[in-house]
Amino acid sequence: MGTNGSRPRQWSRRPWLERTKSEAAYHAQLNKGRLIVSAPPRPDAPPIARRRSRVHGWGVFALAPISKNKRIVEYAGELVQNARATPRETRYLKDGCIWCFQLNRLWVIDAGVGGNIARFINHSCQPNCHSRIEGGLIWICASRTIKAGEELSYNYFTEGAGEIPCRCRAGCQNML
Ligand SMILES: C[S@@+](CC[C@H](N)C(=O)[O-])C[C@H]1O[C@@H](n2cnc3c(N)ncnc32)[C@H](O)[C@@H]1O
Ligand SMILES: [Zn+2]
């Protein structure tokens, strides 16, 4: 999955790689040789919880109203280069799972390793959240006011031929 419009404006591999790595490292911790990206806990984080979802398996739900544009949770996981993420994605997809989130052209955050609750947020073609990249972190933010009890969702913007039929709403014909 990816973030709409997250491409670097000017492509230059080395500076981008170094900058992304240092930005992410600012928020990251080495754990058994893996760089795990996650933001420090915030007292103002909206309360959310993992619950069974009508869309698929587990989902994440608002426990209180969330205002528009509020940063809800960061998408935590291991920072890996694209080349290393591709075989992981293939392996995950065999189990019907998508855990890798494209941070930029070189880096991916793999929530299958060191991920947090954000990895259980389901996709929707008409989502109430969106992703925003800030300083090497991927934030899931509210796209509108979200009521207590609503399931959170964002558009995965998956690339290539989708293999998973989308169940975001009755009659959705899209594939993830
Ligand atoms: C990031 S996980 C979300 C958490 C997942 N529901 C679970 O229980 O592990 C992504 C996976 O959830 C499923 N999923 C998410 N959104 C979906 C949707 N709109 N329709 C069908 N499956 C979905 C797909 O299997 C996808 O690979
Ligand atoms: Zn859909």
Per the prediction, the chain carries an average pLDDT of 87
Contact 93 CB / ligand 1 (< 6 Å): no
The closest-lying atom of ligand 1 relative to the alpha carbon of residue 119 is 1
Higher pLDDT, residue 15 or 46:
46
Strands 153-154 and 122-123: parallel
Higher pLDDT, residue 74 or 20:
74
Q: Which domains does the chain have, with CATH numbers?
A: 13-154 (2.170.270.10)
Higher pLDDT, residue 140 or 30:
140
Find the 170 Cα to ligand 2 centroid distance in Å.
9
**b (16+ CB within 10 A) / e for 154-165:** bbbbbeeeeebe
Contact 92 CB / ligand 1 (< 6 Å): no
Contact 155 CB / ligand 1 (< 6 Å): no
Does the pTM surpass 0.75? The reply is yes
Nearest CA, atom 24, ligand 1: 97
Distance, CA of 74 to CA of 137 (rounded, Å): 7
Q: pLDDT per residue over 77-111, tens digit each? A: 999 998 898 899 889 888 888 889 998 888 899 99
Distance, CA of 60 to CA of 53 (rounded, Å): 8
Per-residue pLDDT at 3 exceeds 60: no
